Structure 1
């Protein structure tokens, strides 16, 4: 299955769980892509004592997950791009949704 996970939240527990699902799905053999949209582009600043989001992101990438981030959303929040993924566009989000078997949003 090809799974698209759209993360629109900057709630640490929500983001942590979204990446946990992505990791689990990759381990089941699914193709998984995460698109960071809106507040979701803030993922690199969300680590908390209970929620090691950076660790989850690196685990996700290490097992072949893909991450994309909305360039417009990034520009609204910070001048530089994320260190974990390329800047993407609405066309990239559309293609991801169009080509996926399932789309989840967090």
Structure 2
């Protein structure tokens, strides 16, 4: 099953729950393809990392588990962020394709 997850804010607990859910989807008995699209303030997810909400570790676990992360290139550019091997840059067309090609789509 193809699962799309859209995250649009940088609230630490919201990011934490979204990435935990993405990891759960990857680890279920099904052969799920999970893609997270970071939009708006969520592109600065690393800023929300803390001892209580280990965002960076969850992002790494999600990527190592086979999950794909796309960050809105415009939102990243507004925040001076670059894409990397974990979070590649994408655009609204990528978000659209994720939405229409996903069997399930959830927003955080």
Q: Please say whether Structure 1 and Structure 2 have the same fold, judged by a TM-score greater than 0.5.
A: yes
- Structure 1 residue 82 displacement after superposition: 3.6
User: SS of the residue aligned with 1:86?
Assistant: strand
Structure 2 residue runs without a partner (length 5+): none
For normalisation by structure 1, the TM-score amounts to 0.94
For normalisation by structure 2, the TM-score amounts to 0.92
Structure 1 residues 89-100: aligned runs within 5 Å:
89-100=91-102
- Structure 1 residue 77 displacement after superposition: 1.4
Structure 1 residues 1-106: aligned runs within 5 Å:
1-28=1-28, 29-78=31-80, 80-83=81-84, 84-106=86-108
User: SS of the residue aligned with 2:5?
Assistant: strand
> Where does structure 1 differ by over 6 angstroms across 4 or more consecutive aligned residues?
none
Structure 1 residue runs without a partner (length 5+): none
RMSD of aligned alpha carbons = 1.0
